[in-house]
Structure 1
């Protein structure tokens, strides 16, 4: 059992987004915040992306589990988001996939309520957020 904080990366992406783009965004974001990739414990997204090849390939590369949540599960995190996207809501039924998914999985894995360590970062066809819990 891990004694340190649990870090969860939440990811949203456009269809067909390659793993290399997701990985570059992840590496760049972690580097900018001084966080080691080895500290990340899990990846999260929305169930609409559970078959997304780039996400699955990234999870495989990193040897990390990818957990997907449905829009109903993610929408309960709306009040805790730093950014609400109307476009995301129209397309998915939740206001922010990356932040909501990161918070949802960190809440599930941890013993304390999760907080956003890195709010939504936007790259080419990718959104990413990092939640932490103890």
Structure 2
């Protein structure tokens, strides 16, 4: 099963903040970190040090999508953020990035397995195919 973690974060969010959010959400759902296939975010976060460090730490690829690609998932989001839209042009980074990546990797419809979770600096969601 393909599991993709979608992540959004504030500028210069550190890897430990991201990892704590990811691990907490996975633990709550009873999913082992090793089951993750890849990480996803918006293209403007492609060079974000915390996301790059997280991908390296987890030994997973980080794939990024444009705001236009992510906006096509708007009707499937559990939460629509006006702040995210104002900054990026899409209403939710974590959920839409996770859905987009699963659909790209699986070539099949994706669904949210873990809807948006957040802390003060980041958001996380998990999607799977089927």
TM-score range for the pair, normalised by the shorter chain length? over 0.9
- 1:16-35 to structure 2, matched below 5 A, reads 16-35=12-31
Structure 1 SS opposite 2:37: strand
C-alpha distance in structure 1 between counterparts of 2:103 and 2:4, whole Å: 10
C-alpha distance in structure 2 between counterparts of 1:29 and 1:77, whole Å: 21
Instruction: Please give the TM-score of this superposition, normalised by the length of structure 1.
Output: 0.95
Moved over 4 A (4+): none
- 1:109-128 to structure 2, matched below 5 A, reads 109-128=105-124
C-alpha distance in structure 2 between counterparts of 1:29 and 1:124, whole Å: 15
- 1:94-133 to structure 2, matched below 5 A, reads 94-133=90-129
C-alpha distance in structure 1 between counterparts of 2:25 and 2:119, whole Å: 10
**Counterpart among 52, 57, 61 of residue 53 in structure 2:** 57
Give CA deviations for 1:82-119 in whole Å, capped at 9, x if unaligned.
Answer: 11001100100000000000000000011320000000
Instruction: Please give the TM-score of this superposition, normalised by the length of structure 2.
Output: 0.98
C-alpha distance in structure 2 between counterparts of 1:92 and 1:10, whole Å: 15
Structure 2 SS opposite 1:20: helix
Corresponding residue for residue 68 of structure 2: 72
C-alpha distance in structure 1 between counterparts of 2:74 and 2:28, whole Å: 26
**Counterpart among 66, 88, 93 of residue 92 in structure 1:** 88
Structure 2 SS opposite 1:67: strand
**Correspondence 1:15 to 2:4:** no
Structure 1 SS opposite 2:54: helix
C-alpha distance in structure 1 between counterparts of 2:107 and 2:79, whole Å: 25
